Structure 1
Amino acid sequence: MNAKKTAIVTGSSRGIGKTIAIELAKVGYDIIVVYFSNQDAAKEVQSIIQDNGQQCHIVQADVTDPLSASNLVKEAINQFKHIDLLVNNVGDFFFKPIEEMTISEWDHVLKSNLSSAFYLCHSIIPFMKERKAGNIINIGLSTNNLVRASANVSAYSIAKTGIAILTSSMAEELAEYGIRVNCVSPGLIDNGHLPESQKTWMIERVPMKRLGRSEDIADAIIYLASDKSAYVSGSNLAVSGAWDWNGRPNVNDEQVHDLFVEPA
């Protein structure tokens, strides 16, 4: 990769987003770290990136709000003059049957996982079109690329299916402008805070017999951001150890919630 490429990574003060931001910096990207509430965590990521010799600017934003998302893009452009890569990483999750989910919870899951990606893409695409170059990577969910749902995760399943469709639609719309759009779909990722008993339970259900690492997701992002994937657009890359969300047994909230939450 050429040095001095620039990237916005949402939800990058912790978890998978943090790893994505740090690993992109290692291959030459200057980074916009986006956080919602934890400024100290964002500053820690900024320090790590700067220690790697790259520039890093932190921005507080509520990407579920269209005006805040638009202002984020404007601030990023003002800071770095251009943005080569947008990684839409934010998402939230509730494990509840329909009748127990509140309207606000339903709206929040759709906004955090799907609408936030639309708002940011809507704001950044004009700048990428002007340069006739750009790369957008969305975070989906491993479902063998099939449109299927699972019990008790209706809003999340709908949102992540929407991400896959949004990715495909944008890839076709933007190809003539030199803009690539892809999706990375994680399986079960070890967040570093799982009890050993829970990890064992999860590992037994993954064909590769291990949980994913945040670095596995970052490696996929780096590939899709690189010239090695110059002819790849509209893809949905499962990084799941052959695990499929729809093939899992029923699980409770405590067993899965933290694996699928990437707050801003």
Structure 2
Amino acid sequence: MSKMQHKIAIITGASHPRDIGTAICRRLAADGVSIFFTHWHADRNWIGEFKQEILSMGVSCEEMTFDLSDSQAAQTILQTAVEQLGVPSILVNNAAHSAQDGYLVLDAQTLDEHYAVNMRSTFLLCVEFARLFEKANLISGRIINMTSGQDLGPMMGELAYVATKGAISAFTRSLAQELAPLGITVNAVNPGPTDSTWMNDEIRGYLLPKFPKGRLGTPEDVAKVIGFLASDEATWITGQIIHSEGGFLRG
């Protein structure tokens, strides 16, 4: 529990018992990291229970409801986290917006909705975090963004999603170069198809044969990778897009 004691992490998109953001919160808390998480359209009773679960691990925990499509999201989230817990040294941009589209239905509104959450909020949280980190004279920081394997193959019917998530990969690589002198590593993780809130039995049945390990990926699988990248052991890894998919077979 003491590996990362006294560190503070911001995790966006922890809104459901089975989602990836929730698993990340649990993993980092188990490593001694205090948690500030954001959520949207979440059950308030569950949020209270989850916060108590994190507190029971012996770390501090705060949360807030926030719509990441708000142009002031980054400043508001960071300011609130600092006021309630202190200056964070770990940022995990997990939240995402996804809606079905395709060339027949893609329009400006769909693109704007994806851009606001997947690109603007992610990018501004990254740079506001880095500015705050530098001002506070911290030594070792971590930014971890989430991608979706859009560089590895097509995702039909999700043009806005793959375009905006693909931009995160490019942004991650360049930001890593800028922030390396500050002691901040910047990486992205592609967890592959993960059995979280978006899957139903039909999708599970279709995807299972594509996993040579004989099971679907879980939120806990993702959280293990995040936990490593947030740790001191990952200090020499930056500017990478890590594909942790369990050998998932495309096509």
TM normalised by structure 2 equals: 0.90
* Equivalent residue, structure 2, for 1:30: 34
| Mapped pair 1:135 → 2:139 | no
* Equivalent residue, structure 1, for 2:164: 159
Deviations 1:144-165 (A, max 9, x none): x55x644322111111111111
Q: What's the CA shift for 1:137?
A: 0.3
1:104 pairs, out of 106, 109, 113, with 109
Q: Is the 8 A contact 1:109 1:155 kept in 2?
A: yes
* Equivalent residue, structure 1, for 2:74: 69
User: Which amino acid in structure 2 is aligned with residue 171 of structure 1?
Assistant: A
Larger displacement relative to structure 2 (183-192 or 222-231): 183-192
SS for the counterpart of 1:100 is coil
Deviations 1:109-151 (A, max 9, x none): 22222222012112211111222431100001124x55x6443
Q: What's the CA shift for 1:25?
A: 0.5
| Mapped pair 1:87 → 2:89 | no
Which runs of structure 2 are paired with 1:195-210 in the superposition (5 Å)? 195-210=200-215
Deviations 1:33-64 (A, max 9, x none): 11123233322221110111111001122222
* Equivalent residue, structure 2, for 1:52: 57
User: Which amino acid in structure 2 is aligned with residue 142 of structure 1?
Assistant: G
Which runs of structure 2 are paired with 1:174-189 in the superposition (5 Å)? 174-189=179-194
Q: Is the 8 A contact 1:22 1:45 kept in 2?
A: no
User: What number of residue pairs does the alignment pair up?
Assistant: 244
Structure 1 stretches of 4+ moved >4 Å: 192-195
Judged with a 3 Å threshold, the aligned counterparts in structure 2 of structure 1 residues 194 and 101 are, in CA distance, closer, same or farther, namely same
Could you tell me which runs of 5 or more consecutive residues in structure 1 were left unpaired when the two chains were aligned: 249-264
Q: Which has the higher contact order (CA 8 A, sep 6+)?
A: 1
1:4 pairs, out of 3, 6, 10, with 6
* Equivalent residue, structure 1, for 2:175: 170
SS for the counterpart of 2:171 is helix
2:238 pairs, out of 227, 230, 233, with 233
| Mapped pair 1:190 → 2:190 | no
Larger displacement relative to structure 2 (89-98 or 215-224): 89-98
Q: Is the 8 A contact 2:60 2:85 kept in 1?
A: no
Write the distance in 1 (CA, Å) between the matches of 2:64 and 2:198. 26
TM normalised by structure 1 equals: 0.86
Write the distance in 2 (CA, Å) between the matches of 1:114 and 1:186. 18
* Equivalent residue, structure 2, for 1:21: 25
SS for the counterpart of 1:66 is coil
User: Which amino acid in structure 2 is aligned with residue 11 of structure 1?
Assistant: G
Deviations 1:227-252 (A, max 9, x none): 111100111111111226xx33xxxx
CA RMSD of aligned residues (A): 1.8
2:222 pairs, out of 217, 220, 226, with 217
Deviations 1:200-248 (A, max 9, x none): 221112233321010000000000000111100111111111226xx33
User: Which amino acid in structure 2 is aligned with residue 35 of structure 1?
Assistant: H
Q: Is the 8 A contact 1:63 1:119 kept in 2?
A: no
